[in-house]
Amino acid sequence: MKSTSSIGIEKKQILQSGLRPLLLLSFISCAIILIWFLLVGTIDPYVESSLALQGSVDKGNSLFKMNCVGCHGITAQGLVGPELNNVTDQLSDEKIINQVIKGLTPPMPSFEMEPQSMADLLAYLHSLN
Ligand code: HEC
C-alpha cells in the first residue's frame, strides 16, 4: 500500500519536472524562429550601401572585363555562365549582388569587392539592357 502511493508521487514528479524543460524548449525555439525572421527580413548593410552609391558604367565595364568575361563572355553573351545582357530585367539588384558576393551557385566563385565597385558593376549590367 505504502509503496504504491510513493510510486504515484514519483510519477507525478517526473511528469512535472519533464514538462517544464519541454515548455522552456518550445518557448526558446519560438523565440529563435522569431529572431530569425527579423534578421532575414532586414536588408544586408553591404547590399544597402552598394545600392545607395552611384555607379560608373566605365569602371563597371573594366571590372566586368577583369572578373567576369572568362565565364560570361566578352559581351556578356554567355559562355560557361549564362548570358547577362538582360539580367537586370530578370533579377533584382539585391539578388545580383548576392549572386556575386556569396558564391551560392558553383562554379561561379564569390567575389569580394568594395560597395563602390559593386555599384559600378551594377551600373554596367544595367547599361547592357
Ligand atoms: C568561373 C566562372 C564564373 C565567373 C568568373 C563568374 N560567373 Fe557568374 N555565373 C557563372 C555560372 C556557371 C552561373 C550560373 C549559376 C547557376 O545558377 O547555376 C553564373 C550566374 C551568374 C548570374 C545569375 C544569372 C542568372 O540569370 O541567374 C549573375 C548575375 C552573374 N553570374 C554575374 C557575374 C558577375 C558580375 C561576375 C564577375 C564579377 C561573374 N558572374 C563571374 C559562372 C561564373
> Model's pTM, two decimal places?
0.76
Say how many Å lie between the CA of residue 72 and the centre of ligand 1.
7
pLDDT band, residue 63 (cuts 50/70/90): very high
- Distance of CA 9 to CAs 4, 20, 21, 23, 103, Å? 9, 17, 19, 21, 58
Its CATH class, for the domain covering 45-127, is mainly alpha
Say how many Å lie between the CA of residue 69 and the centre of ligand 1.
10
Residue type, 27: F
Cell of 86: 538582360
Position 7 scores a pLDDT of 62
